[in-house]
Amino acid sequence: MTTSFKLNGKSIEVETAEDANLLWTIRENLQLTGTKFACGIAQCGSCTVHVDGVPTRACITPLASVAGKSVTTIEGLSEKKLSALQEAWIAEQVPQCGYCQSGQIMQAAALLAENPSPSREEIVNHMNGVLCRCGTYLRIIKAIERASTSA
């Protein structure tokens, strides 16, 4: 099956099995490994990408469902340098193991695109459901608050 879509701003066509999902196509076929596999059932958020700007769990998204759409991965969040959000992530020392971080950042980026100055409550509500085994939730909130003030 051939599927055409935009990936990180570039039009692509990819040949896969009919039952291919977005996550494994991104990681295995397209060699973009920033999007992580963790639970495989859309419960943790490590695989979050944007599909037409909406945070989407790539592990359960059929590749066919993104045909003609725009997909952004962590690699496509910023073209030449780190985004303000990624810089805030570093400044607040958010990552510990780092495994969930691309999903966390993609979820946060969608929030800031929609609401550049979210309240703490809006941040917590939006980030709910993206799990961090290391428990860096307070640092995540601080990083989003920092990025929102620098935008």
Could you give the CA distance from residue 57 to residue 75 in angstroms, rounded to a whole number? 16
Q: What is the CATH number of domain 2-77?
A: 3.10.20.30
7 pLDDT exceeds 70? Answer: yes
Residue 80: per-residue pLDDT? 78
150 pLDDT exceeds 80? Answer: no
Residue 123: per-residue pLDDT? 98
Q: How many C-beta atoms lie closer than 10 Å to residue 4's C-beta? A: 12
Distances (CA, A) of 9 to 44, 52, 69, 121, 136: 26, 11, 10, 32, 31
Confidence class for position 151, pLDDT limits 50, 70, 90: low
Enumerate residues 6+ apart whose C-beta is below 8 A from 128.
none
3-state secondary structure of 56: strand
Give pLDDT tens digits for 76-129: 998 878 999 999 999 999 999 888 999 999 999 999 999 999 999 999 999 999
Give pLDDT tens digits for 29-72: 999 999 999 999 999 999 999 999 999 999 999 999 999 999 99
Fold classification of 84-150 is DNA polymerase; domain 1 (1.10.150)
Where along the chain do its domains lie?
Answer: 2-77, 84-150
